[in-house]
Amino acid sequence: MTYCVGLALAQGLVMLADTRTSAGSDNISSFSKLFLFEEPGERVVTLMCAGNLAITQSAMNLLVEGIDDGTGNVETILTVPSMFKAAQLTGRAVRAVYEADGAALKAHDFSFDVSFLIGGQIKDRRMRLFQVYAAGNFIEATAETPYLQIGERKYGKPILDRALRHDMSLTGAVKLALVSLDSTLRSNLTVGLPAELVVYQRDSLKVALSRRITADDAYFNHIRQQWSESLREAYRALPDPDWGDANDLPRVTGDRI
Amino acid sequence: MTYCVGLALAQGLVMLADTRTSAGSDNISSFSKLFLFEEPGERVVTLMCAGNLAITQSAMNLLVEGIDDGTGNVETILTVPSMFKAAQLTGRAVRAVYEADGAALKAHDFSFDVSFLIGGQIKDRRMRLFQVYAAGNFIEATAETPYLQIGERKYGKPILDRALRHDMSLTGAVKLALVSLDSTLRSNLTVGLPAELVVYQRDSLKVALSRRITADDAYFNHIRQQWSESLREAYRALPDPDWGDANDLPRVTGDRI
């Protein structure tokens, strides 16, 4: 499994991915799922992927080696002129892998399981964040829903729904993303450290921070522990029910139902 | 979808279920998923169900009308002598429905999707909590893992993993179950109020509390709001990263990958 989350905020982007891959619980490895393309002053693009590793690696190879746009013009993530074109190119890479491998995967009862988050900015164009599906189509994050997730989404979603705001600071957003990852790490063994983090400040056209977060990262361990303690504290502070000895529910008897 | 959670603690049982059923997002209804059997001084058994409503209703009918144990002896939830036998009987009800309806459901491409939580105590026997699967087999909660969930499990799981303890008070456990339900309600529209709650104190052989929690329940609304505020507060209290301008991650270039 995988957990990748991308936050597209007024101030910039936060992209965070775990690195665990698993083909069954007895076959666990560590592979980067975050790919960072940077030409300072020209473009910063971060791609994160989830799904079948053979599919994501094939698609990544196409995105770096280049895909012919049908007119003999070969595009890569390092040459596309806009983030929209980068998302389109990613979709075309996914479709090319499907054409090459889809039938064989189906013959072996593997689903064509792949998704990407692609976020960044290219000179003179807007910063954008997209999610590309296995069908090669895609959606974009908006101010109203400024985050996208792929992989094991559910455990880390509640805190984002409660606290993420489009106008928050990038530092605040990094903390939220880390808390979201922490909830996922605790509940799904097939999501694992190290994690990889990229922070991009809007219109800067250079990476603000890139960090590999290992299991012995002092800061991450500190906030994991503080978060756990705060939650337990918050829970202890909840008042007791005032329902007295309410007895609202009917009993099932032999002749009921 | 459904959210049901059962907590089996040193002091007793907490059983909580939502009531929303959905056959697509345009076909939403409210049906009880919690069934309470009580003969004070003799038995308290709470059954909660998730899955296809036609299957769960059929199984419930069998559990109330009775199932022949093969020797002409007809057992119901109100006659079985132990919680283990109650779990077995629930499994046999599920298998009977599968025999009656499984092939027809398969012909229409419906999966045989059903699960039950059954918790309670019968006079002179131990209090127990079981989860019964669609195959009719079952597992039991233990002191180490004192909770079981069916339906939409993921959103409500992190808080249970962090704060639930086997030796906590029943009041504390009720609050945790409600927080777990709140996270699920916020993230999955097909889980909805009212919720139904049963609290049972070990060895009492009577229901301590049964409550139908509606959308205008003042206490539940208060803790939902307080919990949200506490989480945001906990998040604001997290220290900022001390990573400076770390620049750990390699860049993808045209000749890399």
Q: Are B86 and B123 in contact (CB under 8 A)?
A: no
Indicate whether B103 belongs to any domain: yes
B238–A226 CB contact, under 8 Å:
yes
pLDDT of res. B125? 98
Residue A219: pLDDT above 80? yes
Query: Quick check: is A255 in a domain?
Result: no
| Count of all residues that appear for chain B in the document | 257
* Contact between chains at B234 and A231 (C-beta distance less than 8 A): yes
In-domain check, residue A55: yes
Contacts of B12 (CB under 8 A, 6+ apart): B127, B170, B199, B200, B201, B202, B204, B208
Q: What is the mean pLDDT of chain B?
A: 95
- List own/partner pairs for B127-130 with CB under 8 A and 24 or more apart: B127/B8, B127/B12, B127/B13, B127/B83, B127/B200, B127/B202, B127/B203, B128/B8, B128/B83, B128/B84, B128/B87, B129/B6, B129/B7, B129/B8, B129/B13, B130/B83, B130/B84, B130/B86, B130/B87, B130/B90
Contacts of A38 in chain B (CB under 8 A): 251
Under 8 Å between Cβ of A20 and A1: yes
Contact A4, A18 (CB under 8 A): yes
Q: What percent of chain A has pLDDT over 70?
A: 99
Q: Collect the ranges in chain B with pLDDT lower than 50.
A: none
Q: What is the pLDDT of residue A109?
A: 93
Say if residue A255's pLDDT is above 70.
Answer: no
The whole-number pLDDT of residue B137 equals 98
pTM of the model: 0.91
Does residue A244 sit within a domain?
A: no
CATH classification of the domain holding A45: 3.60.20.10
The 10s digit of each residue's pLDDT in A48-79 is: 999 999 999 999 999 999 999 888 999 999 99
- Contact criterion met (CB < 8 Å) for B234 and A230: yes
Residue B160 lies in a domain: yes
**Around Cβ A21, how many Cβ atoms within 10 Å?**
20
Averaged pLDDT of chain A: 95
> Strand B114-122 and strand B147-151: pairing?
unpaired
d(C-alpha B202, C-alpha B138), whole Å: 22
Residue-wise DSSP of A9-66: ETTEEEEEE--EEESSTT-EEE---EEEEEETTTEEEEEEEEE-HHHHHHHHHHHHH-
The ipTM is 0.90
Query: Please, what is the Cα angle at B65 between B64 and B71, to 5 degrees?
Result: 115
> A247 lies in a domain?
no
Query: Nearest Cβ partner of A227 from B171, B238, B242?
Result: B238
Residues in chain A with CB shorter than 8 Å from the CB of B198 are 249
Looking at residue B165, its pLDDT comes to 95
Mean pLDDT of A211-215: 97
Q: Cα separation of B108 and A54, whole Å? A: 34
**From residue B250, how far is each of A37, A41, B15, B214 by CA, in Å?**
9, 17, 50, 53
Stretch A4-23: mean pLDDT, rounded?
95
Q: How far apart are CA A158 and CA A143, in angstroms?
A: 18
Q: Tell me the chain A residues in contact with residue B252 when contact means C-beta distances shorter than 8 Å.
A: 35-37, 64, 77-78
Question: So what's the pLDDT on residue A253?
Answer: 87
- Identify from B184, B207, B220, B251 which residue to disrupt to test chain A contact, counting A C-beta atoms within 10 A and taking the largest count: B251
Q: Evaluate whether residue A248 is within a structural domain.
A: no
For residue A200, give Cα distances in angstroms to A112, A121, A141, B76. 31, 9, 16, 63
User: What are the two backbone dihedrals, phi and then psi, of residue A254, each rounded to the nearest 5 degrees?
Assistant: -55, -30
Strands in A52-194 per DSSP E = 67-68, 74-75, 114-122, 128-132, 138-140, 147-151
Number of domains, chain A: 1
Is B248 inside a domain boundary?
A: no
Residue B24: predicted pLDDT? 77
Domain span at residue A9 reads 3-236
* A24: pLDDT strictly greater than 90: no
Q: How many other CB atoms sit within 10 Å of the CB of residue A53?
A: 17
Please indicate whether residue A180 or residue A254 has the higher confidence score (pLDDT).
A180
Contacts of A33 in chain B (CB under 8 A): none
Spatial strand order in the sheet of B207-213? B147-151, B3-9, B12-17, B195-201, B207-213
Which of A186 and B122 is assigned the larger pLDDT?
B122
Q: Measured between alpha carbons, how far is A150 from B249 in angstroms, rounded to an integer?
A: 21
